Amino acid sequence: MAEFIRYRVQDHTLTRIQDSIESFALQVQSEGIGGGRLIEDIEISNSGSTRIYHALERKYLGYILVSADVHATLKVVTTDNTAPEDYIPLVASAAITKASLWVF
């Protein structure tokens, strides 16, 4: 990821804006998509939610379906999303026998 470059200026408002941008950039670098985990060879059912344990030791921010052996979409089952710091409850639009997810 690109490094944040701070410009030294005399304008107090611009300095405060740069402070906010730098803080946000550091957060994105440490907790964003790069701070994730690849989970391979999982089975996701279309007949109810499947709990995918992510081991991030924090609440997940999102996920990306990296690969699947059939065409399908995944959806978080909000009613089963009771412990986002531990797992993601997903349901598939089709039966998937093998899939890989990037969880961040």
Q: How far apart are CA 46 and CA 92, in angstroms?
A: 5
On whether both 12 and 59 belong to a single domain, the answer is no
| Whether residue 69 is found in the same domain as residue 48 | yes
Domains contained in the chain, number: 2
pLDDT at 1: 57
Query: In terms of domains, do 43 and 60 share one?
Result: yes
SS3 47: coil
The reported pTM is: 0.68
Query: In this predicted structure, what is the pLDDT of residue 31?
Result: 67
Domain of residue 3: give its range: 1-31
Look at residue 34 in the predicted model and tell me its pLDDT.
Answer: 75
Per-residue pLDDT of the chain in tens (104 residues, 90 and over written 9): 567 788 989 999 999 999 999 988 887 777 667 778 999 999 998 988 999 999 999 999 999 999 999 998 999 999 999 999 999 999 999 888 789 999 99
Pairing mode, strands 63-68 and 74-76 = unpaired
> Nearest-CA neighbor of 56 among 81, 41, 28, 34?
34
Which residue matches tokens 């499947």?
50
Residue 73 and residue 89 in one domain = yes
In a shared domain, residues 85 and 53? yes
